[in-house]
Amino acid sequence: MEYKRLFEKGRIGNLTLRNRSVMSPMATDFADHDGTVSMKLLRYYQERARGGIGLIINEYTGVDHVDSVPSPHNLRASADWHIAGLESLVDAVHAYGALIFAQIHHGGSTSKPALSGRQSLSASDVPAAPGAPAPRAMTIEEIKAVQKKFTDAAVRCKKAGYDGVELHGAHSYLIGQFFSPYYNKRTDEYGGGFENRMRFTGEIIDGIRAALGSGFPLSVRISGDEMTPGVPGALTLEDGLRIGKYLEEKGIDVLNVSNGSALNGNANCDPYSYAPGWKKHVAKAFKQALKIPIIATNTIKDPAFAESLLEEGVCDFVGLGRSQFADPDFMKKAKEGREDEIRQCIGCMVCRERLLAKGQTAVCAVNPRMGREYLYPDYPRNGSGRTVCVAGGGPGGMEAARVLAERGFAVTLIEKRPDLGGALLLADKPPHKELITRLIRTMKRELEVLGVNVVCGTEATPERVKKYAPEAVFIATGAVPLIPKIPGVDLPNVCTADDVVEGKARPAGRVAVIGTGMTGLETAEMLGAAGCDLLLVEMLPDIGPGIFPVIRNDILGRVMAMKPEVYAGHKLVEILPDGIRMTRADGAVVEADIDAVVLSLGIRPTRNVVEAFEAAFERVIPVADAATPGRIYEATKDAFDKAYHFE
């Protein structure tokens, strides 16, 4: 496919972009602790520029390091000493023909008092979300001071060589807090009616224009529709359009349309179950109502969909967020007709989980090199045709085989099943997991392009592998389900979640799913859809333990609609032909009638496979689940690292 629209040049203010793709701003926390650009951050953005993106809008960049501390390594333009690092970043991006804007940002009530050591500021004293720390309403002097900080940050960005700046007015940060009647309860000239709620931002725009003139491109990102029904004062599409028109009249050069609020993050950054395009009506309404160019994100996972959005008149520029995490070469591959090699984002949310729930830097499950480009520059190509075998064709095995082949090793990948995929072949069976199916296809295609010798339908035994005379064997044979040692576990009405997902077992009637991690819930969803009455048994106090709340709420929304009987805080102690026996934390014994039991209690590595190979070969390298059980991210990262460093 040619992607005529996607590769058309585009204009924003006085700038010409080489194509219609814009990297959406995404916090990574890759900066140094004082907010300066680190080598980690610089190399990460440079890689995206090299991959062909038209414009990078870099992650939210703090204008204030006193009252706005959203995370430990927030990139900043809040002091003159930030300029030098920002200049290096800009140069690194420009070297590859991309343009770059900084998204300048103040968190307002979302700043973390635990990190800043002070009560956060906002339009008024409404917390970002119920239960979050209450902020303090800003005085007029504080409003003026923060507005000046925005201008000062924009001036620093211009000095650093940025092509423009974007005000972060989306997602309920400080600017959004002033826009919103839910957060803004002021009774002075900065609150109340529409014009008053716009004043904070309008004056920031005036300040930046006064300092830098109208020739310096200015974008504003807003939530076109906060999609937060039931919350009085949350902004609707109608409100968003009014804000957009106001900003256009203020003379901004481009509007970047996002969605969502602090109370509905999914409308901004959606988990895997949302279909691409579900929110395109919002951007389209802006495109129709305004004259300035519109950038919009739309859960874009592939170039054909991006092209269709441009064709349909949804926006002028497509915003690629997580797709740029997943594959920095998205645009390059699209241009070269290699779209089947694009690693698409799988919507697993490990990126956000790390940032929002764990206070760590962003990572990507399908691109373990993301954020580590400075540690892992181009592959060391010293394989010199030496033979290496990989046993097991799941995500870990495929990733190890790919990296080894990139490095010039002669790789044979041996898989027991008729086809590659391993654990992914199970992961793609529950509802809404099409992106996993696509990942398997891409990984297979990569191996094909690299000439990896793939042998499916053959179990890798030491004897079979010997005939290839490899220098080393990577063991990626995965893990096996944990089976508890309790009475009744061998009964014919007991199976594992894997058995269900693979279609080896078809439990019916009243089915107890034991263990409600992600696999348990996905299996429950499949069983519920097949007409089973569900019982969810969880030893811990809440079901869905350890799952990032965005994903947990998403899947629980569907599973709870199936009206399961929930036994949280209950430990399974015995299985009977027609019942289960559990103990509660208070020691009480609880029984429930069942027809079948599905065990989903986690996995353990298969040590015996590793040991058998260790007895036959000098160099045996267990990777992914065969080394340490984990999710897709842990599997690909472990395999990538070990294959990269293999000598």
Residue number with CB closer to ligand FMN (199 or 279)? 279
Beta-strand pair 510-514/533-538: parallel
Spatial distance between the Cα atoms of 260 and 240, rounded to a whole number of angstroms: 11
Q: Tell the smallest beta-carbon distance from residue 380 to ligand FMN (Å).
A: 29
DSSP 360: -
Sole residue written with tokens 């809040």? 78
Binding of ligand FMN at residue 326 (CB under 6 A)? no
Q: Tell the smallest beta-carbon distance from residue 324 to ligand FMN (Å).
A: 8
Binding of ligand FMN at residue 367 (CB under 6 A)? no
**Using CB under 6 A, which residues numbered 143 to 202 contact ligand FMN?**
168, 170
Q: Tell the smallest beta-carbon distance from residue 405 to ligand FMN (Å).
A: 29
Q: Tell the smallest beta-carbon distance from residue 256 to ligand FMN (Å).
A: 8
Binding of ligand FMN at residue 292 (CB under 6 A)? no
Q: Which stretch binds ligand FMN (CB under 6 A): 154-162, 292-300, 374-382, 605-613?
A: 292-300
Residue number with CB closer to ligand FMN (38 or 268)? 268
Of 90, 204, 355, 512, the residue at the interface with ligand FMN (CB under 6 A) is 355
Given 45, 60, 173, 567, the catalytic residue: 173
SS (H, E, C) 512-527: EEECCCHHHHHHHHHH
Binding of ligand FMN at residue 300 (CB under 6 A)? yes
**Using CB under 6 A, which residues numbered 85 to 144 contact ligand FMN?**
103
Spatial distance between the Cα atoms of 367 and 363, rounded to a whole number of angstroms: 8
Q: Tell the smallest beta-carbon distance from residue 97 to ligand FMN (Å).
A: 22
Binding of ligand FMN at residue 258 (CB under 6 A)? yes
Binding of ligand FMN at residue 361 (CB under 6 A)? no
- Which residue blocks in 261-345 are alpha helix, DSSP H? 280-289, 303-312, 322-326, 330-335
Spatial distance between the Cα atoms of 371 and 360, rounded to a whole number of angstroms: 12
Residue number with CB closer to ligand FMN (267 or 447)? 267
Cα Rg, the chain, nearest whole Å: 26
Q: Tell the smallest beta-carbon distance from residue 133 to ligand FMN (Å).
A: 20
Of 151, 223, 268, 496, the residue at the interface with ligand FMN (CB under 6 A) is 268
Q: Which stretch binds ligand FMN (CB under 6 A): 19-27, 195-203, 404-412, 414-422?
A: 19-27
Of 120, 297, 308, 361, the residue at the interface with ligand FMN (CB under 6 A) is 297
Pick from 94, 72, 8, 25: which is nearest to 325 by CA?
A: 25
**Using CB under 6 A, which residues numbered 25 to 64 contact ligand FMN?**
25-27, 59-60
Q: Which stretch binds ligand FMN (CB under 6 A): 313-321, 393-401, 485-493, 529-537?
A: 313-321
Q: Which residues does 35 contact at the CB level (< 8 Å), separation at least 6?
A: 62, 65, 73, 74, 75, 76, 78, 79, 82
Pick from 444, 402, 432: which is nearest to 521 by CA?
A: 432
Residue number with CB closer to ligand FMN (29 or 499)? 29
Residue number with CB closer to ligand FMN (57 or 285)? 57
Q: Tell the smallest beta-carbon distance from residue 417 to ligand FMN (Å).
A: 32
Binding of ligand FMN at residue 240 (CB under 6 A)? no
Q: Could you give the strand order of the β-sheet that contains 589-593, starting from the edge strand earlier in sequence?
A: 570-576, 579-584, 589-593
**Using CB under 6 A, which residues numbered 445 to 504 contact ligand FMN?**
none
Pick from 38, 332, 68, 35: which is nearest to 175 by CA?
A: 68
Pick from 369, 305, 367: which is nearest to 334 by CA?
A: 305
Residue number with CB closer to ligand FMN (435 or 556)? 435
Tell me the residue ranges of DSSP E strands in 491-561: 494-496, 510-514, 533-538
**Using CB under 6 A, which residues numbered 416 to 455 contact ligand FMN?**
none
**Using CB under 6 A, which residues numbered 200 to 229 contact ligand FMN?**
221
Concatenating the DSSP letter of every residue in 26-57 gives: -----S-TTSPPPHHHHHHHHHHHHTT-SEEE
Do the Cβ atoms of 28 and 362 come closer than 8 Å? yes
Structure tokens at 346: 């799988």
Spatial distance between the Cα atoms of 179 and 125, rounded to a whole number of angstroms: 15
Residue number with CB closer to ligand FMN (300 or 594)? 300
Residue number with CB closer to ligand FMN (19 or 24)? 24
Q: Which stretch binds ligand FMN (CB under 6 A): 296-304, 391-399, 416-424, 625-633?
A: 296-304
Q: Tell the smallest beta-carbon distance from residue 103 to ligand FMN (Å).
A: 6
Q: Which residues does 525 contact at the CB level (< 8 Å), separation at least 6?
A: 430, 431, 555, 558, 559, 562
Binding of ligand FMN at residue 322 (CB under 6 A)? yes
Residue number with CB closer to ligand FMN (320 or 596)? 320
Applying CB under 6 A, the site for ligand FMN has a residue count of: 25
Residue number with CB closer to ligand FMN (168 or 407)? 168
Do the Cβ atoms of 310 and 233 come closer than 8 Å? no
Supply angle C-alpha 629, 633, 638, rounded to 5. 65
Residue number with CB closer to ligand FMN (362 or 447)? 362
Binding of ligand FMN at residue 269 (CB under 6 A)? yes
Do the Cβ atoms of 405 and 382 come closer than 8 Å? no
Q: Is 45 an active-site residue?
A: no
Spatial distance between the Cα atoms of 325 and 365, rounded to a whole number of angstroms: 9
Beta bridge partners of 573: none
The CA dihedral of 466, 469, 475, 477, to the nearest 10 degrees, is -50
Q: Which residues does 247 contact at the CB level (< 8 Å), separation at least 6?
A: 201, 205, 220, 222, 255
Q: Which stretch binds ligand FMN (CB under 6 A): 309-317, 349-357, 380-388, 635-643?
A: 349-357
Which residue is nearest to ligand FMN, using beta carbons?
Answer: 321
Q: Tell the smallest beta-carbon distance from residue 27 to ligand FMN (Å).
A: 4
Q: Which stretch binds ligand FMN (CB under 6 A): 203-211, 318-326, 558-566, 583-591?
A: 318-326
Of 42, 49, 77, 351, the residue at the interface with ligand FMN (CB under 6 A) is 351
Structure tokens at 646: 């293999």
State the burial class of residue 232 (Cβ atoms within 10 Å of its Cβ: 0-12, 13-18, 19+).
exposed
Q: Which stretch binds ligand FMN (CB under 6 A): 36-44, 118-126, 242-250, 347-355?
A: 347-355
Q: What 3-state DSSP class applies to 435?
A: helix
Binding of ligand FMN at residue 282 (CB under 6 A)? no
Q: Please list the active-site residues.
A: 173
Residues that bind ligand FMN (CB under 6 A): 24-27, 59-60, 103, 168, 170, 221, 258, 268-269, 297, 299-300, 319-323, 351-352, 355, 362
